[in-house]
A = this chain, B = another copy of it.
Amino acid sequence: MDNENTVIQSIIEAARKLMQQYGFSKTTMEDIAKAAGKGKSTLYHHFKNKEEIIDEVLGQEMDSFFREVKQAVDQEKSLHAKLKTYIVVKIQSIRHRVNLYRFAMETDASTLEINTQFRRLRTRYDQQEANLILSVLTLGIAEGTLHHQSEADLAMLTELLVTCVRGVEMDIIMYNKHNTLPDKADLLVGVLVKGLS
């Protein structure tokens, strides 16, 4: 039982490394098997097909991704610091996962099922993130940095903030522009906080 998990985990581990480096479609079952030190057909003993491996890799990765971000944000005290940390750490975490992250886009008409599952994963993650940011903004209000807002407005602001940060993510993913990151994070937080206050 413990062994079962070890084997499965070692396959996922191998898959994750390869997929991080080469992307999902370029990572073949053969590659994964070889990297895990197993026979190709052994993979099919533990997973129904490639899709199931991808799902597992993505699920684990997103969870650990969120944990990293949350932990870093939790350690900061002020609204400003928390928001900046959120942006910076999120981006840094993404940089190690660019290829996995790109997956969201590898979507074609024919891959609908993959995406269905992916969307589920993604939704779970987004929910967690929204909660995190919401609590940060609530703290900003308690702190006095932000005005008091209606619940609906807070939800909207949360969404807006996440949306803007997603723009920064994209700069990273698409252009590898991360040199100016801390400055841009500062500016973004400054503008948003001022704009929202």
Contacts and interface: CB of A to CB of B under 8 A. Distances in A.
A170 interface: yes
Given A159-B184, A167-B164, A195-B195, A25 B25 contact: yes
B174 A160 contact: no
Interface residues of A, number: 45
A130 interface: no
Interface in A154-187: 156-157, 159-160, 162-171, 173-175, 180, 183-184, 187
A170 B102 CA distance: 12
A142 interface: no
A188 interface: yes
Most buried by B among A99, A108, A192: A108
Q: Is the interface of A mostly helix, strand, loop or mixed?
A: helix
Given A163-B168, A168-B167, A171-B166, A22 B108 contact: yes
How many chain copies? 4
A190 interface: yes
Contacts of A170: 163, 166-167, 169-170
B23 A107 contact: yes
A170 to B, nearest CB: 5
A184 B25 CA distance: 34
Nearest to A162: B167
Contacts of A109: 21-23, 26
Interface of A: 21-23, 25-26, 99, 102, 104-110, 119, 122, 156-157, 159-160, 162-171, 173-175, 180, 183-184, 187-188, 190-196
